[in-house]
Amino acid sequence: MADIALPPQDIPVVEGSYLENTGKHKGLAAWLLSTDHKRIGIMYMIMLFSFFSVGVVLGILLRLEMISPGGKLFPPQVYNALFTLHGVIMIFLFVIPGIPVTLGNFFLPLQIGARDVAFPRLNLFSFYLYIIGAAVILTALFVNGLPDTGWTFYVPYSLRTTTGVTIAVFGVFIVGFSSILTGINFLTTIHRLRAPGMTWFKMPLFVWALYATSWVQIIATPVLAITLLLIVISRVFGVGIFNAAAGGDPVLYQHLFWIYSHPAVYIMILPPMGIVSEIIATFTRRTIFGYKAIAMSSLAIAFIGYLVWGHHMFVAGMSQQADMIFSFLTFLVAIPSGIKVFNWVASMYKGSIDPQPPFLFVMAFMVLFSIGGLSGLVLGSLATDVHLTATYFVVAHFHYIIFGGGVFIFFGALHYWLPKMFGRMYDKKIASWDLLVMFIGFNLLYFPMFIMGYEGMPRRYFTYLPQFETMQHISIVGSWILVAGLIVMFVNLIHGSIKGPRVGPNPWGGTTLEWKTASPPTHENFEEEPVVIHEPYYHEEALTR
Amino acid sequence: MRLLPYALNHAQAVDDVMRFIVISSIILFLIVIVTMVVFVFKYNHKRNPRATSIPGNVPLEIFWTVVPTVLVLAMFYVGWEAYLQIRTVPKNAMPVKVFARQWSFSFEYMNGKRTDTLYVPKGRPIDCLIKSLDVIHSFYLPAFREKQDALPDRVRHMVVIPEHLGIFDVVCTQYCGLDHALMKTKMIVLPDTTFDRWINSSSTAEPKVALGDSTIYF
Ligand code: HEM
Ligand SMILES: [Cu+2]
Ligand SMILES: [Cu+2]
């Protein structure tokens, strides 16, 4: 780790970094037509965070509507469109593609010592499918008015409303294909392109997480694609698959939708779980505790995750037996996640912990993800779910899991890997204090929703009863604090990656392969193919027992 | 086997399940977070410059797999048991048809009488026969901790046992379009003699309720 000590001006500029144009194209085209996984990853990042920003603005507006009971700020139609867009953008355009297409694209080949993914051109094609899908979804805004169905597009409402549902759903369908292709690409990459010596159990845990995620993408996404296509067919040709009057079944839609959308939760959360393991191993300077248990629990979550979709439908009127089985399986799927959490804490035991910003993000994750996960137990239990489903309690629960768990680790991962991507460091002091601001804002924003939900505040309401006013106001103030924190974070990261002090190949003392090449890496990733001897988190200086 | 005292009042039963899960969760949460914080301080690199790599410990891993498994199975069981209360229709239950449409509820009693506010007698189990006349809605009684979706093509049951006089909110919790948030009414629990007199009278007027002496719940 000699390079940590070098003053920034003495760190040599990397020759032939992937940020320089070398191919036949110049300027913007050199990016837009690049099949380099690193450039594609960065292009995805720009797109994803643009959508995220739009989603956040919509979220702030959703909260602002609650400034007074009675919903005077926006008329109902607008509020209904706002939460639909907020949900569709956040879910389909931001968190589902999420970490795999951005950091996965960038770091999967680096972590397994490959030059690129297995099918670089398919990778670029997936990117354009994503762009086209997103464009189609955005077109829906300008045709027939904003969709107002909620991100779940439940029938029969979604078949009746006159708004641009058909187009929006078709856009989501296209984005789904991008997801499937990326999954296939990553699976092939992991199977075929690992560096010599990297056996399955020498793969970094982020790679394991991407592996499990890719399976979910490949197996679950087609169900979504078919379901959405059935909506389009029903709307355009009036086929009565989900239409009760024509002998169809509206609850069938809910089954199909959640058969995809529950596993999709694991598409959102498995990759961040992988990154948590990476960050902990680096900043504790020791190996991860229970490597195999963590790797296998990713797979267990991916597969049991298919069997629990019915927990979204406990009040839809399934049979008692179905309700019972789904509740039972839901509790079982909680166990592998719990095991991971215990292993992560155990990995800090006797470490030599350096709480740099990425590690602080992990600590915030542990708090927020635990709250999210434990509140999931309340929703897995039948009696309490019947009371709390479709209330603010659920809104709080999934924001804690997806935002507090998944997205906070996405941010943590940016703090971890940005120095590798751009060869420069952001301001660490600002990053750490800003995390505290975001953490406080987040809890003020969402914790009151648990309480309001328990007191019976339904979700997707543009208005509320006066007794909720105080809680609503706390939550609104929280949303402002959170957003202030987000802005500071992005400014700090962007400024750092352009103007920050230079760093060498391994600023954190990480042990996985991406730290063994230049920062930023060259187009070829490695000067010569690395050979793997040790387990991924082998810290030379650590004592062993 | 009952892990929690059985409460006839369903809301009480739900709250008991809730309390059990929340308290266990807080304990688990504190164990995880306090341990983490202690480790972060105790094994700070300044205090502990050299880490020890411990790849695992099988007995420990079995322990923290088995204990949570038992705990969540208990949670599953108590939740399931309380849930059966609203799904098992008692023989003496009084059927009331609940119709949901964009954006209002209406109710029909055995003898064909219809109202927009739900009137029920205290102490008699009510078998709500819930159906939608258009898109999917949900019939939610927060004070009773109960809800059931209203589907267009079939009737769903939900049992309510009103044990207190009072006026309770009824709201829709399945998004159903423009005025979803305004789709609400009240459920009024009357003394059973008042209810019987009203239901058997030929008058179409709704029963008079003295707001003053009843508890108002949300
Ligand atoms: C500052 C950031 C955010 C704020 C202020 C915010 C706020 C909200 C609010 C208030 C609702 C509930 C609307 C209602 O039911 O009446 C909501 C719904 C939702 N949010 Fe967020 N949110 C934020 C970030 C996110 C993120 C990062 C995600 C996902 C990654 C997300 C996903 C969703 C989804 C899926 C819904 C459900 C939409 C629906 O009901 O169809 N949100 N958000
Ligand atoms: Cu689910
Ligand atoms: Cu509704």
Ligand number, closest to the Cα atom of A150? 1
Structure-block tokens of residue A217 = 């993408």
> Amino acid letter at A347?
S
DSSP string, A466-489: GGGHHHHHHHHHHHHHHHHHHHHH
User: Please, which pLDDT band fits residue B215 given cuts at 50, 70 and 90?
Assistant: very low
Query: How confident is the model at residue A158, as a pLDDT?
Result: 78
Is A210 touching ligand 1 by the criterion CB < 6 Å? no
The 10 Å Cβ neighbour count of residue A425 is 19
Structure-block tokens of residue A181 = 């292709």
Helices A469-499, A37-64: axis angle to 10 degrees equals: 150
Distance A220 CA to ligand 1 centre (A): 23
Q: Are the beta carbons of B148 and B156 closer than 8 angstroms?
A: yes
> Residue with the nearest Cα to atom 37 of ligand 1?
A87
> Residue with the nearest Cα to atom 35 of ligand 1?
A87
Is A38 touching ligand 1 by the criterion CB < 6 Å? no
Task: Give the E-state strand segments of B33-183 in sequence order.
Answer: 52-53, 94-101, 104-108, 114-115, 118-121, 126-132, 137-141, 146-150, 156-160, 166-172
Residues from chain A that touch B56, judged by Cβ atoms under 8 A, are: 289-293
Is A403 touching ligand 1 by the criterion CB < 6 Å? yes
> Amino acid letter at A454?
Y
Q: Mark residue B86 as left, alpha or beta (left: phi above 0; alpha: psi -120 to 50; beta: remaining).
A: alpha
Pocket test for ligand 1, best of A399, A411, A446, A447 (most atoms within 8 A of CB): A399
Chain A with chain B: Cβ pairs closer than 8 A: 266
- Residue A86 sits in a domain of what CATH number? 1.20.210.10
Most A CBs within 10 Å, among B53, B67, B85, B135, to test the A interface: B53
User: Please, which pLDDT band fits residue B213 given cuts at 50, 70 and 90?
Assistant: very low
What is the nearest CA distance from B77 to chain A, expressed in angstroms? Answer: 8
What is the nearest CA distance from A501 to chain B, expressed in angstroms? Answer: 24
Instruction: Choose among A400, A190, A179, A380: nearest CA to A295.
Output: A190
Domains parsed from chain B with CATH numbers: 9-87 (1.10.287.90), 94-203+210-216 (2.60.40.420)
Distance B82 CA to ligand 1 centre (A): 31
Query: How confident is the model at residue A3, as a pLDDT?
Result: 46
Buried-state track B154-174, b at ≥16 Cβ within 10 A, e below 16: eebbbbbbbeebbbbbbbbbb
Structure-block tokens of residue B217 = 């719940």
Structure-block tokens of residue A84 = 């639909």
Chain B residue with CA closest to A354: the answer is: B45
CB contact under 8 Å between A339 and B86, yes or no, is: no
Is A269 touching ligand 1 by the criterion CB < 6 Å? no
Q: Give me the sign of the Cα torsion angle A293, A297, A298, A299.
A: positive
The atom number, within ligand 1, closest to the CA of A63 reads 10
**Residues across chain A:** 545
Chain A residue with CA closest to B35: the answer is: A345
> Amino acid letter at A96?
I
DSSP string, A98-154: HHIIIIIHHHHHHHTT-SS-S-HHHHHHHHHHHHHHHHHHHHTTTSSS---STTTT-
CB contact under 8 Å between B147 and A315, yes or no, is: yes
Distance A454 CA to ligand 2 centre (A): 20
| Tens-digit pLDDT profile for residues A30-89 | 889 889 999 999 999 999 999 999 999 999 999 999 998 887 888 888 999 999 999 989
Q: How far apart are CA B153 and CA B162, in angstroms?
A: 28
Residue range of the domain that includes A200? 2-544
The atom number, within ligand 1, closest to the CA of A52 reads 27
Which residue reads 């750490």 in tokens?
A: A432
CB contact under 8 Å between A387 and B147, yes or no, is: yes
Ligand number, closest to the Cα atom of A442? 1
Q: How far apart are CA B103 and CA A423, in angstroms?
A: 58
Chain A residue with CA closest to B146: the answer is: A387
Q: How far apart are CA A268 and CA A406, in angstroms?
A: 7
Classify residue A290 by its DSSP letter.
Answer: T
Pairing mode of beta strands B215-216, B166-172: parallel
CB contact under 8 Å between B179 and A541, yes or no, is: no
- Tell me the pLDDT of chain A (545 aa) as tens digits: 444 555 666 777 777 888 887 777 788 888 898 899 999 999 999 999 999 999 999 999 999 999 988 878 888 889 999 999 999 899 999 999 989 999 999 999 999 999 999 999 999 999 999 999 999 988 877 777 778 888 888 877 877 777 677 788 888 889 989 989 999 999 999 999 999 999 999 999 999 999 999 999 998 888 888 888 888 788 778 777 887 777 778 888 888 888 888 988 999 999 999 999 999 999 999 999 999 999 999 998 888 888 899 999 999 988 889 999 999 999 998 899 999 999 999 999 999 999 999 999 999 999 999 999 999 999 999 999 999 999 999 999 999 999 999 999 999 999 999 999 999 999 999 999 999 999 999 999 999 999 999 999 999 999 998 889 999 999 999 999 999 999 999 999 999 999 999 999 999 999 999 999 988 999 889 988 899 999 999 998 888 87
Distance B169 CA to ligand 3 centre (A): 14
Chain B residue with CA closest to A254: the answer is: B136
Instruction: Choose among B149, B178, B84: nearest CA to A315.
Output: B149
Number of domains in chain A: 1
Query: How confident is the model at residue B8, as a pLDDT?
Result: 52
Ligand number, closest to the Cα atom of B103? 3
Residues 6 or more apart in contact with residue B157 via CB below 8 angstroms: B87, B89, B127, B128, B129, B130, B148
> Residue with the nearest Cα to atom 31 of ligand 1?
A90
CB contact under 8 Å between A377 and B25, yes or no, is: yes
